[in-house]
Amino acid sequence: MRGTQNGLNRAEEEPSQSAASQVPLPLEEDTSAALEVPSTAEPTFRGLPIAWENVTTEENGKQRTGHWIVWNGNRSKREEFFKLAFPNQYNKVKKRVKFLGKAADDVLWLTGGQRTKLMYEILAWKYGLEEVSEQDNLDLIFLCQREEENKTADDLLSRLHWPNGLAKLVTFGVGMKLDAAAQQTWCYSVDYQEDRAVFEGNSMTWERWQVKLIEALERCRACRYSYSKMWK
């Protein structure tokens, strides 16, 4: 993919399900909203306590540990929680995205996270979104932000930080992904326009990378300091 690629108007939807490998996100501007919550606060959702819990199950003689959500008397996997919390809205639009022709190759230049984000953007552009509460969004962000070594929470947090992230997950389901490793390592910017998404290559100089890396490290230090004070 040289220069600029258009990913939005080369796709169509089909009912399908797929799983994606986790790939680091590219360097891009952080547009997520800042959330300030007192360090001593415990997570709640619609006024009720909510928490993550490690659940060990056995499949084919092997034990697996998963991260489930405990809320309102229920202990559920991520998708089951969304079904309980949004019974009349969840996955109301049962569509998936399939990239065709050259776009099927071009999309593999994007990281797994950006491919997933693009698919949700395409569906939202075509079908619209369910209305959700901003407080629900903030409560779930806070729940996920507190977690350490929880890939399920990390993945959900990344999606909640998308523009209208919670509305997209409620409307189209939480588990949409595109399975395949990124073809090459490159740095790019993303411009989401009214009817398309434009991905343009950027210089991968250390001077550019270090700015975002330093910002990320500073945020991590701030979070760890906040949590350490909470348990003193």
For residue 6, pLDDT over 70 is answered with no
Q: Label residue 60 exposed, middle or buried (CB < 10 Å: 0-12, 13-18, 19+).
A: exposed
Give the tens place of pLDDT for each residue, 8-45: 443 444 443 333 333 333 434 444 444 444 455 899 99
Angle CA 170–176–128, to nearest 5: 45
pLDDT at 231: 53
Percent of the chain surpassing pLDDT 90: 45
125: helix, strand or coil: helix
93: helix, strand or coil: coil
Distance CA 162, CA 95 (A): 19
Determine which of 86-90, 161-165, 203-207, 215-219 has the lowest per-residue pLDDT on average: 203-207
User: Residue range 200-206: average pLDDT?
Assistant: 76
For residue 120, name the pLDDT band (cuts at 50, 70, 90): very high
Higher-confidence residue: 13 or 226?
226
Q: Which residues are CB-contacts of 61 (< 8 A; sequence separation ≥ 6)?
A: none
User: Residue range 173-190: average pLDDT?
Assistant: 80
Give the tens place of pLDDT for each residue, 127-160: 999 999 999 999 999 999 999 889 999 999 999 9
Q: 64: part of which helix (H) or strand (E)?
A: strand 62-71
Cβ distance 22 to 151 under 8 Å? Answer: yes
Strands 62-71, 97-99: pairing kind: unpaired
**pLDDT winner (highest mean) among 26-30, 34-38, 92-96, 206-210:** 92-96
Q: Which two tokens stand for residue 147?
A: 């977690």
Cβ distance 94 to 6 under 8 Å? Answer: no
Cβ distance 97 to 117 under 8 Å? Answer: no
The pTM score is 0.69
